[in-house]
């Protein structure tokens, strides 16, 4: 590994362009994080500019013929932030707030995430500005197939591999895989991950992000002389990540005292009855109204007197407005980008251990990688093999990040960024510039 304190002499280029200057929103946060890592690593403005700018991006218009015969237009994006360590990798998000800057930020985080856990991938992300809850399954299928056709030249098992994210699921991935495969003339399961088992999905993928979050929590607690059965946990977001994670925490002996979804939160000091809560949510679609806890607001959940806070929903929920009131000693980022730069500084200053998103929620993309490897070899692993390999990867990555943070006297987030930015910069340096 190169010495991070020695500026790289091989690249000298013009000053960093204006669009690498942090702005508001997730992209501002992501660029601010990169900025900090670049300064510490001593890289020059040329390397900074290369790592700040997406390598490729596409903006597509997606007309939908609705079931009632009317037409609606949506905007979709795919951004490959970096492809120097391998194909682009990252989810596809369906959410009304999706825009190009959010997708750029999420793609950049995928680059660092894949590098932290040493996957042979770059980082990418896609999104469509649509609220999937307002559309029927057949409408969503048409949106997905049209989006896939529009971005077709950019994706593929060796180019850019999609996976589920907010608002998409394994069914969406099956449509992407089918559209891509039909157009190529043969079945190509490795173009997406997080697909159904019946068409080449991997055992353990659906719960991998949550499992990884729990592994990361266990490692952080252990380092401070604690275990999961000692702690009280609050989970913000009861979706694909937070829902299974809450159950896994409870199964490991933690007291899960509060959970929330976009409708509200519930709180029970001493711990919620998770099996009963899951049954309630399966029937009602929300945690709100569960009689085994008191109703509280989402904001109240974030500042509850618990040991571990797990933001597992969307970006920027911990801000300068509430970070000083967070009482948890550990914040484990199940979501991508839940903490603004200001909030991160406040939490670190107050001695809160933040296990950063690019490490804490990397379990999903780790098992995506396992799924891609299995699909390429057409040879399938057992669930036990997958879970063991995931646990090893998470433990190893946590140890490396923690070691870097200790050595450099920085937070776990900065440790993770130093490690990953350096790995990506090394790939650039070793490959050299063409022509
Ligand atoms: N959407 C997930 C993430 O943000 C998974 C990405 C993947 O598996 O490619 O990490």
How buried is 32 (Cβ within 10 angstroms: 0-12 exposed, 13-18 middle, 19+ buried)? middle
- Tell me how far the alpha carbon of residue 6 lies from the centroid of ligand 1, in angstroms: 33
Beta strands in 83-154 (DSSP E): 88-94, 123-128
Single out the residue of 212, 246, 216, 223 nearest to residue 386, CA to CA: 212
Q: What is the CA radius of gyration of the chain?
A: 21
Count how many domains the chain has: 2
pLDDT at 132: 98
Residue with tokens 């997958």: 386
Would you say the CB of residue 89 lies under 6 angstroms from ligand 1?
yes
Query: Could you tell me if residue 370 is inside a domain?
Result: no
Same domain, 175 and 234: no
Q: Which two tokens stand for residue 261?
A: 């979804």
pLDDT digits (tens, 9 = 90+) for 124-174: 999 999 999 999 999 999 999 999 999 999 999 999 999 999 999 999 999
Query: Could you tell me if residue 105 is inside a domain?
Result: yes
- Tell me how far the alpha carbon of residue 90 lies from the centroid of ligand 1, in angstroms: 5
Q: In ligand 1, which atom is closest to the CA atom of 365?
A: 8
Query: Could you tell me if residue 376 is inside a domain?
Result: no
Q: Is the dihedral of CA 121, 126, 132, 137 positive or negative?
A: negative
Q: What is the dihedral of CA 211, 213, 219, 220, to 10 degrees?
A: -160
Q: In ligand 1, which atom is closest to the CA atom of 109?
A: 4
Same domain, 183 and 88: yes
The 10 Å Cβ neighbour count of residue 169 is 17
Catalytic residues: 125
Would you say the CB of residue 160 lies under 6 angstroms from ligand 1?
no
Query: Could you tell me if residue 408 is inside a domain?
Result: no
Would you say the CB of residue 91 lies under 6 angstroms from ligand 1?
yes
Measured between alpha carbons, how far is 214 from 362 in angstroms, rounded to an integer?
11
Q: In ligand 1, which atom is closest to the CA atom of 92?
A: 1
pTM over cut 0.85: yes
Would you say the CB of residue 193 lies under 6 angstroms from ligand 1?
yes
Single out the residue of 268, 270, 228 nearest to residue 251, CA to CA: 228
pLDDT at 12: 36
Same domain, 193 and 213: no
Measured between alpha carbons, how far is 261 from 317 in angstroms, rounded to an integer?
13
CB 45 within 8 A of CB 15: yes
pLDDT at 124: 98
- Tell me how far the alpha carbon of residue 66 lies from the centroid of ligand 1, in angstroms: 29
DSSP-derived 3-state class of residue 242: helix
pLDDT at 24: 82
Same domain, 267 and 284: yes
Sheet with 88-94, edge to edge strand ranges = 56-65, 71-82, 123-128, 88-94, 160-164
pLDDT at 7: 45
Would you say the CB of residue 210 lies under 6 angstroms from ligand 1?
no
- Tell me how far the alpha carbon of residue 364 lies from the centroid of ligand 1, in angstroms: 6
Helix axes 412-431, 100-116, angle to 10 degrees: 90
Single out the residue of 21, 28, 18, 23 nearest to residue 337, CA to CA: 28
- Tell me how far the alpha carbon of residue 307 lies from the centroid of ligand 1, in angstroms: 27
Same domain, 136 and 74: yes
Would you say the CB of residue 163 lies under 6 angstroms from ligand 1?
yes
Q: In this structure, which residue's CA is closest to atom 9 in ligand 1?
A: 90
Would you say the CB of residue 393 lies under 6 angstroms from ligand 1?
no
Structural domain of 148: 54-199
Same domain, 213 and 190: no
Mutate which of 111, 114, 210, 365 for ligand 1? The one with the most ligand atoms within 8 Å of its CB, which is: 365
Same domain, 217 and 285: yes
Same domain, 221 and 184: no
Query: Could you tell me if residue 371 is inside a domain?
Result: no
- Tell me how far the alpha carbon of residue 240 lies from the centroid of ligand 1, in angstroms: 12
Same domain, 143 and 230: no
Would you say the CB of residue 243 lies under 6 angstroms from ligand 1?
no
Of 199, 222, 254, which one is at a domain's C-terminal end?
A: 199
117: CATH: 3.40.50.10860
Q: In ligand 1, which atom is closest to the CA atom of 113?
A: 10
322: CATH: 3.40.50.720
DSSP-derived 3-state class of residue 259: strand
Mutate which of 90, 103, 159 for ligand 1? The one with the most ligand atoms within 8 Å of its CB, which is: 90
Query: Could you tell me if residue 143 is inside a domain?
Result: yes
Same domain, 146 and 100: yes
DSSP-derived 3-state class of residue 271: coil
Query: Could you tell me if residue 18 is inside a domain?
Result: no
Q: Residue ranges of the chain with pLDDT lower than 70?
A: 1-23
Same domain, 123 and 184: yes
**What burial letters (b/e) apply to 265-277, b meaning 16+ CB within 10 Å?**
bbbbeebbebeeb
Of 292, 327, 360, which one is at a domain's C-terminal end?
A: 360
Of 342, 360, 378, which one is at a domain's C-terminal end?
A: 360
DSSP state of 43: -
Same domain, 351 and 251: yes
How buried is 380 (Cβ within 10 angstroms: 0-12 exposed, 13-18 middle, 19+ buried)? middle
Query: Could you tell me if residue 173 is inside a domain?
Result: yes
Would you say the CB of residue 365 lies under 6 angstroms from ligand 1?
yes
Would you say the CB of residue 336 lies under 6 angstroms from ligand 1?
yes
Helix axes 45-52, 412-431, angle to 10 degrees: 100
């Amino acid at each position: 590994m190169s010495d991070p304190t020695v500026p790289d002499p091989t690249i000298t280029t013009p000053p960093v362009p204006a669009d690498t200057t942090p702005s508001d929103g997730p992209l501002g946060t992501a660029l601010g994080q990169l900025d900090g890592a670049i300064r510490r690593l001593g890289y020059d403005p040329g390397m900074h500019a290369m790592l700040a700018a997406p390598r490729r991006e596409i903006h597509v218009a997606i007309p939908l013929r609705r079931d009632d015969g009317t037409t609606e237009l949506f905007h979709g994006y795919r951004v490959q932030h970096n492809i120097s360590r391998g194909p682009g990798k990252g989810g596809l998000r369906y959410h009304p707030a999706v825009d190009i800057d959010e997708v750029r930020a999420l793609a950049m985080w995928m680059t660092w995430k894949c590098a932290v856990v040493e996957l042979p991938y770059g980082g990418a992300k896609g999104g469509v500005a649509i609220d999937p809850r307002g559309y029927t399954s057949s409408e969503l299928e048409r949106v997905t197939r049209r989006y896939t056709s529009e971005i077709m030249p950019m994706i593929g098992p060796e180019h850019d591999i999609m996976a589920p994210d907010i608002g998409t699921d394994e069914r969406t991935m099956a449509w992407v895989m089918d559209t891509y495969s039909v157009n190529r003339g043969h079945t190509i399961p490795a173009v997406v991950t997080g697909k159904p088992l019946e068409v080449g999905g991997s055992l353990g993928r659906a719960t991998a992000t949550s499992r990884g979050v729990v592994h990361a929590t266990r490692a952080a607690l252990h380092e401070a002389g604690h275990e999961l059965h000692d702690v009280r946990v609050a989970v913000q977001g009861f979706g694909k990540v937070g829902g299974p994670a809450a159950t896994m925490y409870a199964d490991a002996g933690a007291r899960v005292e509060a959970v929330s979804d976009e409708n509200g939160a519930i709180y029970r000091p001493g711990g919620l009855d998770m099996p009963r809560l899951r049954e309630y949510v399966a029937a009602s679609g929300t945690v709100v109204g569960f009689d085994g806890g008191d109703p509280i607001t989402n904001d109240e959940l974030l500042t509850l007197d618990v040991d571990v806070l797990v933001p597992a929903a969307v970006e920027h929920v911990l801000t300068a407005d509430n970070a000083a009131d967070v009482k948890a000693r550990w914040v484990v980022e199940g979501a991508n980008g839940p903490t603004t730069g200001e909030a991160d500084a406040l939490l670190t200053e107050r001695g809160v251990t933040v296990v950063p998103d690019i490490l804490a929620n990397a379990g999903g993309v780790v098992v995506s990688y396992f799924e891609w490897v299995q699909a390429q070899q057409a040879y399938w692993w057992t669930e036990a093999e997958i879970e063991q390999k995931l646990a090893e990867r998470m433990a190893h990555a946590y140890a490396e990040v923690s070691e870097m943070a200790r050595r450099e006297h920085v937070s776990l987030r900065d440790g993770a960024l130093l490690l990953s930015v350096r790995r990506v910069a090394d790939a650039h340096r070793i490959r050299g510039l063409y022509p």
